[in-house]
């Protein structure tokens, strides 16, 4: 257990390092901050913090750098006040409210707004159901023997395919047929649709098979839809600005498994999770810290919001930003 003065010193040191990205010397801390102790005492405290694993020294004679253990202590001690600039809140809410009622528009916009605010990378995944369920089925007239099959799934997902028809149908007939199919499938997943025992026409069987194919694909690839913004902010951080490091970071965000990792790590809606450096299960993510939260409605589709940056990220600002964007997306849904 750290004493009050050692805690104050550790917080001060971490704050300095977050701002400067340079090892922090005891002389610098003593000159800039009134800690109520001598410079010799500060040096002794820093030696004790190093012995207990809260800080490290790149070189014996150099200043101190926070360890992942130090950052964890720092994050746990942050006040949960969630204060954000009012102009940011107003601007973000205004942009999302004005966006079209299109999931692609507002997930992309949310990632962009968050990345700009935290000056790091942001990832927003689409809201998804554990399994896809039918909300609406439409056949849209193209010509007598050709239609667009439009399948609307819960969580605002729309999928469409061209469908050749074995017999001509008018626009009115297609609408009646669409209503009949919707009534028979609404709220069902693909397993429930397959279990139904009904007498169906050839056209109904054809459309049902297409719908099942679409739902199976959706269930298998449910993590593929997401937006990443702010990668340029991340690779401009001092830790990653060199060629090899920058390439490693770009490779992380090109990994198709990233949205699955973020979705699996995100806690329940309204709760925050901060994963720092070596706490990441994936070795490739260990140079980074992640701040994650879910958004959406249980039973109505859940997505994830994440901010990724160096372990030196501004945790207080990032936590507040992720919390606000996730709550705003829930409000939009």
- Structure confidence at residue 299 (pLDDT): 64
Bridge partners (DSSP) of residue 149 are: 139, 161
Record the pTM.
0.74
Q: Give backbone dihedrals phi and psi of 128, rounded to 5 degrees, phi first.
A: -140, 150
- Structure confidence at residue 103 (pLDDT): 77
- Structure confidence at residue 268 (pLDDT): 77
Residue 163 near residue 146 (C-beta atoms within 8 A): yes
Q: Give backbone dihedrals phi and psi of 223, rounded to 5 degrees, phi first.
A: -100, 0
Divide the 333 residues of the chain into consecutive groups of 10 and give the mean pLDDT of each group. 88 92 86 75 90 87 89 89 83 84 84 96 84 88 86 80 85 89 89 78 87 83 76 92 85 84 82 94 93 83 91 95 93 83
Instruction: Give the DSSP H or E segment for 233.
Output: helix 231-235
Q: What is the DSSP string of 13-75?
A: HHHHHHHH-SPBPHHHHHHH---SS-HHHHHHHHHHHHHTTSEE-SSTTS-BEE-HHHHHHHH
Q: What is the DSSP string of 126-181?
A: PPB-SS--EEEEEEEEEETTEEEEEEEETTTEEEEEEEE-SS---HHHHHHHHHHH
Burial status of residue 296 (CB atoms within 10 A of its CB: 0-12, 13-18, 19 or more): buried
- Structure confidence at residue 19 (pLDDT): 92
């Amino acid at each position: 257990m750290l004493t009050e003065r050692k805690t104050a010193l550790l917080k001060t040191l971490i704050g300095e390092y977050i701002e400067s990205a340079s090892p922090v010397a005891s002389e610098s801390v003593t000159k800039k901050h009134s800690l109520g102790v001598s410079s010799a005492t500060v040096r002794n405290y820093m030696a004790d913090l190093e012995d207990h694993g809260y800080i490290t020294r790149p070189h014996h004679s150099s200043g101190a750098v926070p360890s992942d253990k130090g950052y964890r202590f720092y994050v746990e001690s942050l006040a949960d006040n969630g204060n954000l600039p009012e102009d940011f809140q107003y601007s973000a809410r205004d942009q999302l409210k004005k966006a079209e009622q299109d999931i692609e528009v507002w997930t992309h916009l949310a990632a962009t707004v968050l990345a700009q605010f935290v000056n790091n990378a942001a990832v927003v995944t689409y809201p998804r159901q554990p399994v896809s369920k039918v909300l609406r089925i439409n056949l849209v007239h193209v010509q007598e023997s050709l239609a667009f099959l439009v399948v609307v799934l819960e969580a605002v997902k729309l999928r469409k395919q061209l469908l050749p028809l074995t017999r001509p149908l008018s626009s009115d007939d297609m609408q009646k047929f669409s209503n009949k199919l919707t009534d028979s499938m609404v709220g069902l997943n693909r397993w429930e649709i397959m279990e139904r025992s009904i007498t169906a026409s050839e056209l109904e069987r054809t459309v049902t098979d297409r719908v099942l194919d679409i739902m199976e694909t959706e269930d298998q690839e449910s993590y593929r839809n997401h937006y990443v913004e702010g990668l340029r902010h991340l690779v401009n951080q001092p830790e990653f600005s060199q060629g090899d490091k920058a390439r490693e970071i770009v490779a992380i965000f090109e990994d198709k498994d990233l949205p699955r990792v973020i979705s699996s790590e995100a806690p329940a809606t309204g709760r925050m999770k901060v994963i720092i450096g070596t706490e990441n299960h994936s070795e490739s993510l260990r140079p980074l810290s992640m701040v994650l939260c879910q958004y959406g409605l249980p039973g109505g589709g859940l997505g994830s919001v994440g901010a990724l940056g160096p372990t030196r990220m501004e945790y207080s600002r990032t936590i507040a930003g992720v919390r606000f964007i996730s709550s705003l997306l829930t409000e939009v849904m």
